[in-house]
């Protein structure tokens, strides 16, 4: 039985050309609802409220709303259910995990009497922006074979580059092609050496290929396993001017750790007795390891309009990530003539570090306060995903990729609504959020809708809060680029239980 996590030994470093995609950019730009239980219970509608540690991640002026120094610690229990459709077959899977969702503190310094700057606050806040843990398997029948992926990569490449010289190993040629020609040459090499494709002529200058897989029906399986986290650490400075204006700034540091292993396989009985060269089984595995660090800046303000209305605005600058990636691959086949063939280069592809610039976000907010008995709050966010860019922009591959992003991704609006009602020391909360899809036609990711609720109780200087949130959204994964095989369509539902302990300092 094939194992998804295929162990590859490092035979030598490889400096290779690009293999990034729009899906990578979308993955690293997508964030989830994370924070304190009070924040989650109101669906994150805190842009004009402040007074909550995790609200610092939304509006840096939030820390100046605190009357006293405070801290909080939040833990999440996440449960994700997915209906995964592949080649018209549907498979359901679920998984749960436990994580640190939010941790932070605010230190408030009151000014002397007569100073228009009534107080200054310093804050630090950690938020888990996205959790990448995911694991599923699907199976279905189709007339589209994996062979098309290798044909797309190979056509136009000289046969001379895919043939090993006397004494040359698979590792050596695979590494040489990656360092000198790039990703497509490596894929063509795998397909040719594993008898998925064949050259039309034996001329070393040949650039045309045909498939060794007979047409017909294919039993395809796809296994996917990923883990990782996207985190943000905010260093905050804010102040209160007079008794009506709060302003603040965040300097944010970001990090990403992401690992993924996948295998797509197919089986067929299409070969005829006269064609013993036909390939019947294919196992194609890919592993990706990503690490990144980045930074961004936030500027925000909250203004009191009378006794009952609060207005807020936040500018979130673009986020600049420096990304490092490593990949490894294997391709194995069965056929009547060649029997079992394994092309598994013991090579780690180490890609040149590159920059991914995520788009800026503008958020406007309004809240209505009903004395000490409750409030209603709303946030409206705007992000233009077509402004995402891979850099250096002088790179021809990145130029093509950036053109694809600008033409296939667009503007996204986000709406968050939340409310809170208080009975003495007990608080009840509810929220709703709606996020649009950044993709034209919503083919890769659909609209997200979410609901939340929670409660909290204050014990003097301590408070304990609990929240529950549910979000529904559609997405898709392409097992192979170029639409060589059908995508996996996913109907996903994520539920969260968040517990927060808050305390005065």
Over residues 445-474, the pLDDT tens digits come to 788 999 999 999 999 889 999 999 999 999
Architecture of domain 13-146+213-504: Beta Barrel (2.40)
Asked if residue 220 lies in contact with residue 87, where contact means CB atoms within 8 angstroms, the answer is yes
Q: What is the pLDDT of residue 118?
A: 86
Q: Rounded to a whole number, what is the distance in angstroms from the first to the last CA of the chain?
A: 57
Average pLDDT, the chain: 91
Q: Return d(Cα 132, Cα 48) in angstroms, integer.
A: 30
Q: Residue 307, class by beta-carbon neighbours within 10 Å (0-12 exposed, 13-18 middle, 19+ buried)? A: exposed
Q: What is the pLDDT of residue 483?
A: 81
Share of the chain above pLDDT 70, in %: 94
pTM, whole model, 2 decimals?
A: 0.90
Which value, in Å, is the radius of gyration of the alpha carbons in the chain? 27
Select from 459, 450, 455, 451 the least CA-distant residue to 421.
455
94, β-bridge pairs: 81
Helices 183-193 and 170-180 cross at an angle (nearest 10°) of 150
What's the rounded mean pLDDT across residues 333-356?
A: 89
pLDDT reading at 112 higher than 90? no
pLDDT reading at 134 higher than 50? yes
- Angle, CA of 485, 407 and 357, to the nearest 5°: 95
Token digits for 371? 């004395």
What's the rounded mean pLDDT across residues 178-185?
A: 92
Residue reference for tokens 């694991």: 135
pLDDT tens per residue across span 226-285: 999 999 999 999 999 988 999 999 999 999 999 999 999 999 988 666 566 789 999 999
Question: Which residues, other chains included, contact 75 with Cβ-Cβ below 8 Å and sequence gap of 6+?
Answer: 98, 99, 100, 101, 498, 499, 500
pLDDT tens per residue across span 290-339: 999 999 999 999 999 988 999 999 999 999 999 999 999 999 999 876 67
């Amino acid at each position: 039985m094939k194992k998804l996590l295929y162990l590859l030994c490092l035979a030598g470093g490889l400096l290779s050309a690009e293999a990034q995609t729009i899906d990578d950019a979308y993955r690293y730009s997508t964030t989830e609802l994370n924070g304190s239980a009070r924040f989650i219970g109101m669906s994150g509608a805190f842009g004009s409220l402040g007074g909550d540690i995790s609200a610092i991640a939304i509006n840096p002026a939030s820390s100046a709303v605190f009357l006293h120094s405070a801290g909080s610690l939040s833990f999440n229990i996440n449960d994700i259910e997915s209906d995964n459709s592949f080649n018209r077959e549907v498979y359901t899977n679920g998984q749960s995990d436990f994580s640190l969702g939010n941790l932070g503190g605010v230190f408030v310094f009151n000014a002397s009497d007569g100073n228009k700057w009534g107080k200054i606050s310093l804050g630090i806040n950690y938020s888990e922006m996205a959790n990448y843990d995911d694991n599923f398997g699907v199976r279905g029948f189709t007339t589209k074979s994996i062979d098309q992926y290798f044909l797309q990569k190979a056509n136009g490449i000289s046969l001379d580059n895919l043939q090993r010289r006397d004494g040359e190993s698979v590792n050596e040629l695979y590494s040489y092609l990656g360092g000198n020609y790039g990703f497509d040459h490596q894929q063509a090499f795998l397909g040719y050496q594993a008898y998925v494709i064949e050259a039309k002529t034996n001329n070393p200058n040949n650039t045309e290929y045909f498939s060794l897989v007979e047409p017909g029906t294919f039993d395809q399986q796809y296994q996917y396993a990923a883990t990782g986290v996207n985190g943000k650490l905010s260093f905050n400075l804010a102040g209160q001017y007079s008794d009506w204006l709060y302003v603040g700034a965040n300097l944010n540091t970001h990090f990403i750790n992401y690992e993924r292993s996948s295998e797509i396989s197919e089986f067929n009985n299409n070969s005829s007795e006269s064609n013993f060269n036909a390939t019947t089984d294919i196992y194609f595995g890919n592993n990706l390891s990503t690490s990144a660090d980045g930074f961004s800046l936030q500027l925000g303000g909250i203004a009191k309009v009378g006794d009952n209305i609060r207005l807020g605005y936040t500018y979130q600058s673009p986020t600049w990530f420096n990304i490092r990636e490593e990949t490894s691959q294997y391709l194995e086949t069965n056929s009547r003539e060649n029997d079992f063939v394994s092309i598994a280069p013991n090579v780690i592809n180490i890609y040149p570090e590159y920059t991914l610039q995520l788009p800026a976000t503008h958020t406007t907010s309004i809240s209505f306060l009903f004395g000490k008995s409750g409030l209603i709050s709303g946030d409206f966010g705007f992000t233009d995903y077509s402004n995402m860019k891979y850099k250096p922009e002088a790179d021809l591959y990145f130029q093509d990729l950036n053109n694809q992003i600008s033409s296939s991704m667009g503007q996204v609006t986000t709406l968050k609504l939340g409310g809170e009602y208080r009975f003495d020391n007990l608080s009840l909360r509810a929220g709703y959020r709606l996020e649009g899809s950044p993709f034209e036609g919503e083919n890769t990711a659909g609209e997200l809708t979410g609901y939340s609720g929670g409660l909290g109780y204050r014990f003097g200087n301590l408070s304990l809060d609990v929240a529950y949130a549910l979000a529904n959204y559609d997405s898709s994964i392409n097992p192979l680029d170029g639409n060589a095989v059908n995508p996996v369509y996913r109907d996903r539902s994520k539920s969260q239980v968040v517990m927060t302990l808050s305390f005065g300092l």
